[in-house]
Amino acid sequence: MDIETYTRSAKFAELKAYCHHASDTDFMEVCEWHNGEGFDVTINNRIMQFTYGQWDCLQVLVNYKD
C-alpha cells in the first residue's frame, strides 16, 4: 500500500466579526482539496463540500437580482 502525505491550504475565522447572529465560539474554516478541484467549508460542526464550479453557481444564485 502506498501512503501519500501532503499539506492542505486552510483559512480560519471567527464568525462574530461577520454575523450578528453568531456566538462567541462560532467559526468558519475553508480547506482546499489536495487535488485542487474544490474545498471543504466547516461552520462549527457542519461540513459542506464544493467543487469550484458548484461554488461559481452558488455565487451566481445568491447574487441574482430579478
Give domain limits for the chain. Answer: 10-63
Q: What is the pLDDT of residue 7?
A: 92
5-64 pLDDT, tens digit each: 989 999 999 999 999 999 999 999 999 999 999 999 999 999 999 999 999 999 999 999
Of 20, 64, 10, residue with least CA distance to 42: 10
Residue 54, SS3 per DSSP: helix
**C-alpha to C-alpha distance for 57 and 54, rounded to whole angstroms:** 5
Q: What is the pLDDT of residue 59?
A: 98
Phi, psi of 46 (to 5 degrees): -100, 135
Contact 29, 10 (CB under 8 A): yes
Q: Where are the alpha helices (DSSP H) in the chain?
A: 52-63
Q: What is the pTM of this model?
A: 0.84
Q: Check if the beta carbon of residue 33 is closer than 8 Å to that of residue 50.
A: no
